[in-house]
Amino acid sequence: MEYRKLGNTDLELSVITHGAFAIGGNMWGGNEKQDSIHSIHASLDHGVTSIDTAPFYGFGLSEEMIGEAIKGKDRSKIQLLTKFGLVWDGSNNGKGEFFFDAEEDGKKIPVYKFASKENIIKEVEESLKRLKTDYIDLLQLHWPDSTTPIGETMEALEILIQQGKIRTAGVSNYSVEQMEEANKTLKLASNQVSYSMLNRAIENDLAPYSLENNSGIIVYSPMERGLLTGKYFKESQLKENDHRNGYFSQFDLHKVKTFLDKIEPIAQEKGATLSQLVLRWTTLQPAITVVLAGARNAQQAIENAKALSFDLSQEELNFINAELAQL
Protein backbone atom coordinates (compact mmCIF):
# COMPACT_ATOMS: atom_id res chain seq x y z
CA MET A 1 0.00 0.00 0.00
CA GLU A 2 1.06 3.59 -0.58
CA TYR A 3 0.20 6.56 1.63
CA ARG A 4 -0.10 10.23 0.75
CA LYS A 5 -0.55 13.42 2.73
CA LEU A 6 -3.82 15.18 2.04
CA GLY A 7 -3.31 18.66 0.62
CA ASN A 8 -1.54 21.03 2.99
CA THR A 9 -2.33 18.96 6.10
CA ASP A 10 -0.39 16.35 8.06
CA LEU A 11 -3.21 13.85 7.57
CA GLU A 12 -1.82 10.81 5.76
CA LEU A 13 -4.26 8.50 3.98
CA SER A 14 -3.95 5.18 2.21
CA VAL A 15 -4.05 5.79 -1.56
CA ILE A 16 -6.75 3.16 -1.82
CA THR A 17 -9.38 4.14 0.72
CA HIS A 18 -12.32 1.94 1.69
CA GLY A 19 -15.49 3.52 0.28
CA ALA A 20 -18.41 2.61 2.53
CA PHE A 21 -21.42 3.73 0.45
CA ALA A 22 -22.44 0.25 -0.70
CA ILE A 23 -22.26 -1.34 2.75
CA GLY A 24 -24.97 1.05 3.88
CA GLY A 25 -27.28 -0.93 1.61
CA ASN A 26 -29.65 1.78 0.42
CA MET A 27 -29.61 2.29 -3.36
CA TRP A 28 -27.36 -0.75 -3.79
CA GLY A 29 -29.87 -3.59 -3.40
CA GLY A 30 -28.97 -4.24 0.24
CA ASN A 31 -25.98 -5.93 1.85
CA GLU A 32 -25.34 -8.47 4.60
CA LYS A 33 -24.07 -6.95 7.85
CA GLN A 34 -21.34 -9.52 8.46
CA ASP A 35 -20.11 -9.22 4.87
CA SER A 36 -19.87 -5.46 5.36
CA ILE A 37 -17.92 -5.72 8.62
CA HIS A 38 -15.63 -8.39 7.16
CA SER A 39 -14.90 -6.08 4.22
CA ILE A 40 -13.65 -3.41 6.61
CA HIS A 41 -11.52 -5.89 8.54
CA ALA A 42 -10.03 -7.20 5.30
CA SER A 43 -9.17 -3.68 4.16
CA LEU A 44 -7.40 -2.92 7.43
CA ASP A 45 -5.54 -6.23 7.32
CA HIS A 46 -4.21 -5.41 3.85
CA GLY A 47 -2.85 -1.92 4.47
CA VAL A 48 -5.93 0.21 3.82
CA THR A 49 -5.97 2.55 6.81
CA SER A 50 -8.62 5.04 5.64
CA ILE A 51 -12.40 4.58 5.54
CA ASP A 52 -14.79 7.02 3.87
CA THR A 53 -18.46 7.09 4.80
CA ALA A 54 -21.40 9.47 5.34
CA PRO A 55 -24.50 9.65 7.54
CA PHE A 56 -26.67 9.30 4.43
CA TYR A 57 -25.20 5.90 3.56
CA GLY A 58 -27.86 3.54 4.86
CA PHE A 59 -29.36 6.40 6.90
CA GLY A 60 -26.67 5.99 9.56
CA LEU A 61 -26.12 2.25 9.10
CA SER A 62 -22.76 2.57 7.32
CA GLU A 63 -21.29 4.68 10.13
CA GLU A 64 -22.70 2.30 12.76
CA MET A 65 -21.14 -0.74 11.11
CA ILE A 66 -17.78 1.02 10.82
CA GLY A 67 -17.97 1.87 14.52
CA GLU A 68 -18.62 -1.78 15.27
CA ALA A 69 -15.91 -3.00 12.88
CA ILE A 70 -13.10 -0.86 14.36
CA LYS A 71 -14.00 -1.57 17.98
CA GLY A 72 -10.86 -2.73 19.74
CA LYS A 73 -8.60 -1.55 16.90
CA ASP A 74 -5.83 1.03 17.36
CA ARG A 75 -7.78 4.18 16.49
CA SER A 76 -4.58 6.19 15.92
CA LYS A 77 -3.78 3.97 12.92
CA ILE A 78 -7.20 4.39 11.28
CA GLN A 79 -8.39 7.51 9.47
CA LEU A 80 -12.16 8.03 9.54
CA LEU A 81 -13.57 10.25 6.79
CA THR A 82 -17.23 11.16 6.97
CA LYS A 83 -19.56 13.90 5.79
CA PHE A 84 -22.47 16.14 6.71
CA GLY A 85 -25.10 18.19 4.95
CA LEU A 86 -27.67 15.65 3.70
CA VAL A 87 -30.72 15.59 5.95
CA TRP A 88 -33.47 13.00 5.61
CA ASP A 89 -35.10 12.83 9.05
CA GLY A 90 -37.06 16.10 8.87
CA SER A 91 -34.84 17.78 11.47
CA ASN A 92 -34.18 20.62 9.02
CA ASN A 93 -37.83 21.73 9.41
CA GLY A 94 -38.17 22.44 5.70
CA LYS A 95 -34.97 24.47 5.54
CA GLY A 96 -32.21 23.83 3.05
CA GLU A 97 -32.32 22.81 -0.60
CA PHE A 98 -34.44 19.84 -1.70
CA PHE A 99 -32.17 17.24 -3.32
CA PHE A 100 -34.20 14.14 -4.20
CA ASP A 101 -36.54 11.48 -2.84
CA ALA A 102 -34.74 8.43 -1.48
CA GLU A 103 -36.56 5.19 -0.84
CA GLU A 104 -36.62 2.84 2.13
CA ASP A 105 -38.99 -0.09 2.47
CA GLY A 106 -41.02 1.25 -0.43
CA LYS A 107 -41.47 4.68 1.15
CA LYS A 108 -40.22 7.94 -0.31
CA ILE A 109 -37.92 9.90 1.97
CA PRO A 110 -37.21 13.52 0.99
CA VAL A 111 -33.51 14.37 1.25
CA TYR A 112 -32.32 17.96 1.66
CA LYS A 113 -28.94 19.64 1.31
CA PHE A 114 -28.54 21.61 4.54
CA ALA A 115 -25.19 22.99 5.73
CA SER A 116 -26.10 25.55 8.39
CA LYS A 117 -23.80 25.99 11.38
CA GLU A 118 -26.38 24.54 13.77
CA ASN A 119 -26.98 21.49 11.60
CA ILE A 120 -23.26 20.76 11.18
CA ILE A 121 -22.70 20.76 14.95
CA LYS A 122 -25.68 18.44 15.39
CA GLU A 123 -24.62 16.03 12.65
CA VAL A 124 -21.06 15.73 13.94
CA GLU A 125 -22.28 14.70 17.37
CA GLU A 126 -24.48 12.04 15.79
CA SER A 127 -21.64 10.76 13.60
CA LEU A 128 -19.24 10.56 16.55
CA LYS A 129 -21.79 8.47 18.43
CA ARG A 130 -22.39 6.10 15.50
CA LEU A 131 -18.67 5.74 14.77
CA LYS A 132 -17.95 5.19 18.46
CA THR A 133 -15.08 7.67 18.44
CA ASP A 134 -14.31 11.10 19.87
CA TYR A 135 -12.86 12.65 16.71
CA ILE A 136 -13.18 12.52 12.93
CA ASP A 137 -10.03 12.72 10.83
CA LEU A 138 -11.64 14.44 7.83
CA LEU A 139 -15.12 15.96 7.86
CA GLN A 140 -16.54 16.84 4.45
CA LEU A 141 -19.55 18.76 3.21
CA HIS A 142 -21.43 16.15 1.19
CA TRP A 143 -23.04 18.45 -1.40
CA PRO A 144 -23.13 22.25 -1.78
CA ASP A 145 -26.16 23.87 -0.16
CA SER A 146 -27.27 26.97 -2.06
CA THR A 147 -29.38 28.20 0.89
CA THR A 148 -26.48 28.52 3.34
CA PRO A 149 -23.61 30.99 2.85
CA ILE A 150 -20.35 29.13 2.28
CA GLY A 151 -18.70 31.32 4.91
CA GLU A 152 -21.16 30.11 7.57
CA THR A 153 -20.41 26.48 6.77
CA MET A 154 -16.66 27.06 6.89
CA GLU A 155 -16.89 28.92 10.20
CA ALA A 156 -18.64 25.92 11.76
CA LEU A 157 -15.89 23.62 10.50
CA GLU A 158 -13.25 25.94 11.95
CA ILE A 159 -14.95 25.74 15.35
CA LEU A 160 -15.01 21.94 15.21
CA ILE A 161 -11.29 21.87 14.40
CA GLN A 162 -10.58 24.14 17.37
CA GLN A 163 -12.68 21.87 19.61
CA GLY A 164 -10.69 18.84 18.48
CA LYS A 165 -13.77 17.02 17.20
CA ILE A 166 -12.36 16.96 13.67
CA ARG A 167 -8.72 16.97 12.58
CA THR A 168 -9.28 18.69 9.28
CA ALA A 169 -12.06 19.72 6.90
CA GLY A 170 -12.89 19.23 3.26
CA VAL A 171 -15.79 19.36 0.85
CA SER A 172 -17.34 17.17 -1.79
CA ASN A 173 -18.70 18.07 -5.23
CA TYR A 174 -17.45 21.66 -5.06
CA SER A 175 -16.59 23.71 -8.15
CA VAL A 176 -13.39 25.75 -8.39
CA GLU A 177 -15.41 28.90 -7.69
CA GLN A 178 -16.89 27.38 -4.53
CA MET A 179 -13.44 26.24 -3.41
CA GLU A 180 -12.11 29.77 -3.83
CA GLU A 181 -14.98 31.22 -1.81
CA ALA A 182 -14.57 28.64 0.98
CA ASN A 183 -10.81 29.18 1.21
CA LYS A 184 -11.41 32.83 2.12
CA THR A 185 -12.60 31.56 5.50
CA LEU A 186 -10.91 28.20 5.95
CA LYS A 187 -8.12 26.50 4.03
CA LEU A 188 -9.73 23.27 2.88
CA ALA A 189 -7.79 20.02 2.87
CA SER A 190 -9.58 18.43 -0.04
CA ASN A 191 -12.45 18.12 -2.46
CA GLN A 192 -14.09 14.73 -3.02
CA VAL A 193 -15.36 14.45 -6.57
CA SER A 194 -16.50 11.97 -9.17
CA TYR A 195 -13.71 10.88 -11.54
CA SER A 196 -13.09 7.86 -13.68
CA MET A 197 -11.80 6.73 -17.06
CA LEU A 198 -15.27 7.60 -18.39
CA ASN A 199 -15.62 10.89 -16.50
CA ARG A 200 -12.55 13.13 -16.64
CA ALA A 201 -14.17 16.56 -16.50
CA ILE A 202 -12.14 17.69 -13.46
CA GLU A 203 -8.96 17.59 -15.56
CA ASN A 204 -10.12 20.85 -17.20
CA ASP A 205 -10.27 23.00 -14.08
CA LEU A 206 -10.36 21.39 -10.64
CA ALA A 207 -7.24 19.26 -11.07
CA PRO A 208 -5.01 22.20 -12.15
CA TYR A 209 -6.50 24.37 -9.38
CA SER A 210 -5.81 21.70 -6.76
CA LEU A 211 -2.21 21.25 -7.89
CA GLU A 212 -1.60 24.98 -7.82
CA ASN A 213 -3.16 25.41 -4.38
CA ASN A 214 -1.83 22.24 -2.73
CA SER A 215 -5.32 20.89 -2.18
CA GLY A 216 -6.11 17.18 -2.16
CA ILE A 217 -8.52 15.43 -4.49
CA ILE A 218 -10.39 12.37 -3.25
CA VAL A 219 -11.96 10.42 -6.07
CA TYR A 220 -15.25 8.57 -5.86
CA SER A 221 -16.86 6.29 -8.46
CA PRO A 222 -13.53 5.37 -10.13
CA MET A 223 -15.13 2.10 -11.24
CA GLU A 224 -18.32 3.84 -12.40
CA ARG A 225 -20.27 1.86 -9.82
CA GLY A 226 -18.92 -1.45 -11.06
CA LEU A 227 -19.22 -0.91 -14.81
CA LEU A 228 -15.45 -0.78 -15.33
CA THR A 229 -14.95 -4.11 -13.58
CA GLY A 230 -16.23 -5.76 -16.75
CA LYS A 231 -18.48 -8.03 -14.67
CA TYR A 232 -21.64 -6.31 -15.88
CA PHE A 233 -21.04 -7.60 -19.39
CA LYS A 234 -20.77 -11.16 -18.11
CA GLU A 235 -23.29 -11.05 -15.27
CA SER A 236 -25.64 -8.25 -16.28
CA GLN A 237 -28.46 -9.11 -13.89
CA LEU A 238 -28.92 -6.37 -11.30
CA LYS A 239 -31.56 -6.35 -8.59
CA GLU A 240 -34.66 -4.36 -9.49
CA ASN A 241 -34.03 -1.76 -6.79
CA ASP A 242 -30.38 -1.28 -7.77
CA HIS A 243 -29.90 2.35 -8.92
CA ARG A 244 -27.29 1.24 -11.45
CA ASN A 245 -30.00 -0.02 -13.78
CA GLY A 246 -30.62 3.61 -14.73
CA TYR A 247 -27.11 4.91 -14.09
CA PHE A 248 -25.43 2.71 -16.71
CA SER A 249 -27.78 3.95 -19.42
CA GLN A 250 -25.74 7.17 -19.80
CA PHE A 251 -22.83 5.25 -21.35
CA ASP A 252 -22.32 3.70 -24.77
CA LEU A 253 -22.00 0.19 -23.35
CA HIS A 254 -20.73 -1.31 -26.60
CA LYS A 255 -17.80 1.14 -26.67
CA VAL A 256 -17.08 0.56 -22.99
CA LYS A 257 -16.94 -3.21 -23.50
CA THR A 258 -14.65 -2.79 -26.52
CA PHE A 259 -12.31 -0.57 -24.49
CA LEU A 260 -12.17 -3.02 -21.59
CA ASP A 261 -11.43 -5.89 -23.97
CA LYS A 262 -8.46 -3.92 -25.35
CA ILE A 263 -6.87 -3.11 -21.99
CA GLU A 264 -7.56 -6.44 -20.30
CA PRO A 265 -4.33 -8.01 -21.67
CA ILE A 266 -2.34 -5.45 -19.64
CA ALA A 267 -4.13 -6.60 -16.49
CA GLN A 268 -3.44 -10.23 -17.37
CA GLU A 269 0.27 -9.50 -17.86
CA LYS A 270 0.34 -7.98 -14.37
CA GLY A 271 -1.51 -10.92 -12.85
CA ALA A 272 -4.24 -8.42 -12.00
CA THR A 273 -7.95 -8.02 -12.60
CA LEU A 274 -9.54 -5.33 -14.74
CA SER A 275 -10.74 -3.67 -11.55
CA GLN A 276 -7.22 -3.47 -10.19
CA LEU A 277 -5.89 -2.08 -13.46
CA VAL A 278 -8.56 0.64 -13.51
CA LEU A 279 -7.87 1.57 -9.89
CA ARG A 280 -4.12 1.67 -10.47
CA TRP A 281 -4.52 3.91 -13.53
CA THR A 282 -6.66 6.26 -11.45
CA THR A 283 -4.09 6.54 -8.64
CA LEU A 284 -1.45 7.60 -11.19
CA GLN A 285 -3.35 10.56 -12.63
CA PRO A 286 -2.05 14.08 -11.82
CA ALA A 287 -3.63 15.81 -8.81
CA ILE A 288 -5.36 12.66 -7.55
CA THR A 289 -4.49 12.02 -3.89
CA VAL A 290 -6.80 9.23 -2.82
CA VAL A 291 -9.07 6.81 -4.67
CA LEU A 292 -12.17 5.43 -2.99
CA ALA A 293 -12.92 1.79 -3.73
CA GLY A 294 -16.13 0.25 -2.46
CA ALA A 295 -16.24 -3.31 -1.16
CA ARG A 296 -19.28 -5.31 -0.12
CA ASN A 297 -17.29 -8.29 1.20
CA ALA A 298 -13.78 -9.31 2.23
CA GLN A 299 -12.80 -10.66 -1.17
CA GLN A 300 -13.56 -7.36 -2.91
CA ALA A 301 -11.72 -5.42 -0.20
CA ILE A 302 -8.58 -7.54 -0.61
CA GLU A 303 -8.71 -7.19 -4.40
CA ASN A 304 -8.96 -3.40 -4.06
CA ALA A 305 -6.00 -3.22 -1.70
CA LYS A 306 -3.84 -5.29 -4.06
CA ALA A 307 -4.36 -2.74 -6.85
CA LEU A 308 -1.25 -1.03 -5.45
CA SER A 309 0.87 -4.19 -5.77
CA PHE A 310 1.99 -3.38 -9.32
CA ASP A 311 2.90 -0.34 -11.39
CA LEU A 312 2.21 0.86 -14.92
CA SER A 313 4.90 2.04 -17.33
CA GLN A 314 4.57 5.26 -19.28
CA GLU A 315 4.12 3.17 -22.42
CA GLU A 316 1.22 1.28 -20.83
CA LEU A 317 -0.36 4.51 -19.61
CA ASN A 318 -0.04 6.00 -23.09
CA PHE A 319 -1.74 2.95 -24.62
CA ILE A 320 -4.64 3.13 -22.15
CA ASN A 321 -5.05 6.87 -22.69
CA ALA A 322 -5.01 6.45 -26.47
CA GLU A 323 -7.78 3.87 -26.22
CA LEU A 324 -9.73 6.12 -23.89
CA ALA A 325 -9.55 8.87 -26.50
CA GLN A 326 -11.58 6.62 -28.81
CA LEU A 327 -14.55 6.50 -26.44
Indicate which residues carry an active-site annotation.
57
Q: Please, are residues 194 and 220 in contact by the beta-carbon 8 Å criterion?
A: yes
Distance (Å, whole) CA 281 – CA 316: 10
Distance (Å, whole) CA 130 – CA 20: 14
3-state secondary structure of 303: helix
For 45-105, the three-class secondary structure string (H helix, E strand, C coil) is HCCCCEEECCCCCCCCHHHHHHHHHCCCCCHHHCEEEEEECEECCCCCCCCCEEEEEEEEC
E strand residue ranges, 216-256: 216-220
Backbone conformation region of residue 271, classed left if phi is above 0, alpha if psi is from -120 to 50, else beta: left
How many helices (H) and strands (E) the chain has is answered by 11, 13
Rg (CA), the chain: 19
Distance (Å, whole) CA 306 – CA 39: 14
Q: Give the residue from 227, 172, 174, 175 showing the smallest Cα distance to 196.
A: 227
3-state secondary structure of 20: coil
Q: Give the residue from 59, 103, 52 showing the smallest Cα distance to 243.
A: 103
Pairing of strands 12-14, 3-5: antiparallel
Angle ∠(170,139,171) on CA atoms, nearest 5: 30
